[in-house]
Amino acid sequence: MGLGTVVVTGAAGNIGSVVRRALRGEVGRMVLLDRVPLRAEAANEVVHTVDLRDADAVEAALTGADAVLHLGGLPDEAPLEQLLEANVLGTHHVLEAARRARIPRVVLAGSNRVTGFYPTAHRTDPRDPVRPDGMYGVSKAAVEALGRLYADKFGVSVICLRIGSFEEAPTEARHLATWLSPRDAVGFCRAALAAPLSTRFATVYAVSANTRRFWELPAATELAYTPVDDAETYASHLTDLDVPADPEAPQAGPYALPEVTLRHLRP
């Protein structure tokens, strides 16, 4: 019961569903938010159908919470207007509700895509300048900036998790570097929710302990979780490993191609 009342936005999503099942026995109350209707599956679950663009509904749902795990939003490349509305404005509503309700801890779902244009040979640290690989990455960079603002200006303790490729198992060569296993996803979320409130702000890469990873793992002083899974275990099952690795290629892989973003821009 040490985590108290935890709100999870985007609770019907891939990560939200996994975290919900894993943490429901560790919280006093779990408040689940999503645009799609959910059904309570345990006595300590409360569900709300909420659009994060509705500031009043978000604030009402967050009342009485001890922490928020904000996973809701658009998860991939889209027109910038949609990303700003769902990801940036939605995050602002969550942080503003936390400020008004004096919720001490907010965990934000960031993305590795905020640094997708660094070359694969570069071991990227969260302190490196952002190099987004598309409009989605831009929106997540803005999410991190909002988190920093609310930490510095209003004293909300904010931890941003730059989430890797969340999959049950790796399905392509890039995942050997970027994979985030379900077990490690839960571990990072749990550690971020439970971190000391003296951690005013932190940005960390949430990625499994992959031998070929592109990103620095967090120091214990930043987040008390050490990932346990390694995508290398699955290397022999992948079919695209015969393609020579280019050390100068973007870490984002195909997400960095112009056409990924061009399809969402005016011709």
Q: Determine the residue type at 213.
A: R
Residue 209 and residue 230 in contact, taking contact as beta carbons nearer than 8 Å: yes
Residue 91 and residue 53 in contact, taking contact as beta carbons nearer than 8 Å: no
Q: Tell me the DSSP string of 193-220.
A: HHS-TT--EEEEEE----TT-SBPPPPT
Give strand ranges (E) for the chain: 5-9, 29-34, 45-49, 67-70, 105-111, 157-163, 165-166, 179-180, 201-206
| Catalytic residue, candidates 136, 205, 225, 255 | 136
CA distances from 161 to 55, 127, 243 (A): 23, 13, 30
CA 184, CA 208: separation in Å to the nearest integer? 6
Specify whether 136 is catalytic: yes
CA 251, CA 241: separation in Å to the nearest integer? 16
Residue 206 and residue 126 in contact, taking contact as beta carbons nearer than 8 Å: no
DSSP lists the bridge partners of residue 20 as: none
Neighbours of 226 (CB within 10 A): 12
CA 74, CA 72: separation in Å to the nearest integer? 7
Question: Which residues are identified as catalytic?
Answer: 136
